[in-house]
Amino acid sequence: MIRRSHEKETVTKPAPFEGKGMITVRSLLNGEEEMSQKGRVFCHTTVRPGAEIGFHIHGDESETYYILKGKGTYNDNGVQAQVEAGDVTYCAPGEGHGLACTGDEPIEMIALILYK
Q: What SS3 state is found at 90?
A: strand
SS3 assignment for 19-59: CECEEEEEEEECHHHHCCCCEEEEEEEEECCCCEEEEEECC
Band of pLDDT at residue 46, cut at 50, 70 and 90: very high
Phi, psi (deg, nearest 5) at residue 6: -75, -10
User: Could you tell me if residue 69 is left (phi over 0), alpha (psi between -120 and 50 degrees) or otherwise beta?
Assistant: beta
pLDDT score, position 69: 98
Q: 34: part of which helix (H) or strand (E)? A: helix 31-34
Mean pLDDT of the chain: 97
pLDDT of the residue at 24: 98
Tens of pLDDT, residue by residue over 72-90, are: 999 999 999 999 999 999 9
What is the model's pLDDT at position 72? 98
Question: Cα–Cα distance between 107 and 44 in angstroms, integer?
Answer: 10
pLDDT (average), residues 36-63: 98
Burial of 14 (0-12, 13-18, 19+ CB in 10 A): exposed
Residue 100's CB: how many other CB atoms inside 10 A? 24
Which pLDDT does position 35 carry in this prediction? 97
Task: Tell me the pLDDT band of 92, cut-offs 50, 70 and 90.
Answer: very high
- Distance between CA 90 and CA 31 in Å, rounded? 20
Q: Look at residue 103 in the predicted model and tell me its pLDDT.
A: 93
Q: What is the pLDDT of residue 52?
A: 98
Q: What does the DSSP 8-state code read for residue 20? A: B
